[in-house]
Structure 1
């Protein structure tokens, strides 16, 4: 039957350098998603739920971001059903917003609207897949071995997904408005509209910190790719954020190397251009 699986491509082993700040959702939670027994939760209005015995830890690090992940409660709610609520993040400029979320029976779409201190706004689209489906067409980020119905165990996997929105990092963020999702697209041919809702489990921000170009490593990982023409010289992948206010240009000569026991950088990664508030995967 297996257990909890964190997508190994982005599983965090403590090698990230990025500072992330969790947004406290405790006063806004309005839905119960985690269950110890059938019928214990009501994620989808049918008393379905994720198996609580497989929950990740409260201090979850994933893809270089730290999340405050909700835990099982004997009673009470544990996640936020998105209905247009306003989030008030910590004061300051932010590079991006990261959320762990899942939809119900169909693909949920909408927009996260950001308002800044000068009353300007930006709007970012989101697309979130259903919490379970057969035969697992979605690339989930957190996998549970099954889900609980109102009366039994359904041995199809259930999933939670990470979604990311970029923000205007040159301006101080005042508030974020979540979408109000009541319908979405089915995954069948034609994508007919179906009722669905969007659930959010955790929200974290990556703040902007520099007044000039300032680079941070969000995430680094080994890959199963090899440099062409070599005797299996392995490639590594590094996610870099420019959390400052200045551009990285070719004359800045940004080179990336890996330093660890047993590893030697043969060919460095190069960043020739990276604007403020942007990200490069090298």
Structure 2
């Protein structure tokens, strides 16, 4: 069954690239931030998700894919070897059967101060939370080597109530900027408006519920963090099935 998972991941590389481009083209940075004032409680960015039970077809990478994104408040320069961190809450109910998997991709989006899209810098690995028999495990998928890797300290998970909390910890970013699937060098001299995106795809049990994203952080030439407990973000937006998707900042419950 390991070979089957590798085939699925190979299919996801091309599809996820299209996801990132489309999500950005439909106005990621144009999203209007909420005017709500948030209390200092455990809040996070929330999306309603429906996983249709498909684990095999190419369509799963579109139908069961949800993108949650938020903009950091401060413009900053970027450099090589940057890293990002995040927490992603996924429903326990989605991971009931052997080989049920949730795939998490992440990236940083760049925009000029005049709101022109520059491109995105992607993480080197996809994080996978996998139901493996009676146990759960976290693994990384390396698209460059087309192989599964142990996560080390870069990814972990824990069960919290009706959610599995997947933690990305200083996940390394690639040292190129992608725009329309064309790669270019990182410009370290200009300042950019920064957005941070998380993509969640379920090749798993048919289920519905909420996915939450919290504690977004970019480390490197800049260190910025979004906790959502206060209005410490510039905007947020979502994407699903080729269109904007409604998100909400809400208490995790």
Which TM class, normalised by the smaller chain length?
Answer: 0.3 to 0.5
What TM-score do you get using the length of structure 1 for normalisation? 0.30
Greater RCO, 1 or 2 (C-alpha within 8 Å, sep 6+): 2
What TM-score do you get using the length of structure 2 for normalisation? 0.32
- Higher share in strand: 2
- Higher share in helix: 2
Which structure is larger by alpha-carbon Rg, 1 or 2?
1
